[in-house]
Amino acid sequence: MINMLKFKPGGLTKYQACVKAVSPLINEVGGELVWSGQSIATLIGPHEEDEGLWDAVLIVKYPN
């Protein structure tokens, strides 16, 4: 699963709390975080100057 995230002001802090709470559940069902980071270019989604890049991108692998 690919998560492409754009945060409102204060949203990053809230999202980090959510990830901390949900991570054990993902591991419980056999999922794993494959990659996370910031985007340097946009391949999919808004690309206009005023829209900017995604704030964070995560790739999560699930068993099926």
Residues 18-64 have pLDDT tens digits of: 999 999 999 999 999 999 998 887 777 666 655 668 889 999 999 98
Residue 1 has pLDDT above 80, yes or no: yes
Confidence at residue 48, expressed as pLDDT on a 0 to 100 scale: 64
b/e sequence 7-45, b meaning 16+ C-beta within 10 Å: eeeeeeeebeeeeeeeeeeeeeeebeeeeeeebeeeeee
2-21 average pLDDT score: 92
Confidence at residue 50, expressed as pLDDT on a 0 to 100 scale: 56
Confidence at residue 41, expressed as pLDDT on a 0 to 100 scale: 78
Q: Where along the chain do its domains lie?
A: 2-61
Residue 44 or 13, more confident = 13
